[in-house]
Amino acid sequence: MKALQTLLTALAVLLAATASLAQDERYGDTPDQQLKCKEALSVYKSYKKQKNYDEAYVQWRKACDVCPETASEGLYADGASFIGKELKKVEDEDPRKADLVDSLLYLHDKRMELYPSTKRSPNNRCVVLGRKATDFYKYNRDQHQAAYAMFKESIDCLKEESSATTLYQYYTASFYTMKRELKGDTVAQANMRAQMLTDYLSLTDYVQAGLARAQEAGKDRDVKRYEKAKGNIETVFVAIADCADMVPVLDAAVAADLDNMDLKLKVLRLLNKKECTDNDLFLPVATAVYSVEPSAPSAYAIGIGFAKASQLDSSFTYMEDAVNRCGDCTEKLTYLLKTGQIASAMGRTSTARNYARQVLAVDAENADAYMLIGDAIAGSSSACNDGALGGRSVYWVASDYYARAKRLNEELAEKASKKMANMAKQFPTVDDIFTYGKQAGGSFTVPNKPGCPCSGESTTIRVR
């Protein structure tokens, strides 16, 4: 037994020595080379730790001279960082700039070649490719298609693990590839536009996943990066997503791949987002998607179709289905708001207000929700009529909600002002309020009455 224990101990020592030898071999073939490499790495890293990047760069170059290329992945990662700092110091016309850029891209290439996968980063090659694409595009602003190809390969591999910069720069490169490098080739441009439209949905999903990940980890800098990416992607999308241009492109894409349900689902989300619902593509796609895979987007789309046909009962049924299937999906506010608007059009004022309140619970400054509440209240004079000022008070309260919407959203200002003007025409006269012992400017509480959507709310007395 003792002999076996001795043998196992000796074996463990041998394995440890073998592992140590394997570790040392990456620093050089001989002990002297290994020592010089380790010392060189230690020196440049020491300056880097002190944030003395100028000297760190000098010492890093010495490390590159004495170390084998397999010595450390950090040699390539740090080198890219140092050269990036050096590039900030040189002018465009400086002949050193081209050499520095070539060196930067070479470091990325060697890192991908030598470290395609690591324990810490299984998809390391894809991560580094995204960084190479960013640096390539930064210093080759006219080579959009080449940058696009690199970004695409990285994102196809990493998906929601892609960096914020990779995601939005891919979309930018896509846009300029379509606009400039494919100029004159209408077929290629149309195909790229279709690709960008469906890419938008994937990219926003990836950004949302990255944002949630950064928030959960408490990484404020990454949160800001993903928020910036979201805004930049949205800006490009708006530039290409005009309904008149969008629908023919999407129609052709669907016609060319009729059995592709994933494509139809993406097309449906795009049409819903841009409210491109008044066309021959919308309802067939929505119905096809819903029949195979009932979902919130398809239910919403069919609800919109019925609303346009003035079949409000059927529309409301599908709208409620969309809300219920959505859960916490990204389109939740849109579904809630539209369902409330359909309810308001049906005269179901309390239901409309309930949906608007759900919107405000998520987004307290949603002007459309305040407009919806105003509409629901404005049509409830008879429900709030108490034989005194209750029936007229709804116009004061509705006007208050329209005013709030106007303050929150400039785009709704004109619409809100018109509604406020219509409400003002319904205000009581001085004689009307005098009859009940009231005066203009005074406070008024709407009487509590079953079915009145603004029961108990306080407002200011106004006259016409």
d(CA 136, CA 107) in angstroms, rounded, equals: 12
pTM of the model: 0.61
pLDDT for position 30: 93
pLDDT for position 297: 86
Q: Are 33 and 66 in contact (CB under 8 A)?
A: yes
pLDDT for position 227: 95
Mean pLDDT for each 10-residue chunk of the chain (464 residues)?
50 42 77 95 97 96 95 96 95 92 98 96 97 98 97 98 98 97 94 91 92 96 96 90 84 88 86 84 88 88 89 94 89 93 90 92 91 87 78 86 90 89 87 80 85 84 85
d(CA 183, CA 185) in angstroms, rounded, equals: 6
pLDDT for position 417: 92
Q: Are 440 and 462 in contact (CB under 8 A)?
A: yes
pLDDT for position 21: 45
pLDDT for position 439: 80
Biggest alpha carbon–alpha carbon distance for the chain: 113
Q: Is 452 helix (H, G, I), strand (E, B) or coil?
A: coil
> Which two three-digit tokens encode residue 355?
């949906």
Burial of 183 (0-12, 13-18, 19+ CB in 10 A): exposed
pLDDT for position 23: 59
pLDDT for position 438: 81
Strands 443-445 and 458-460: antiparallel
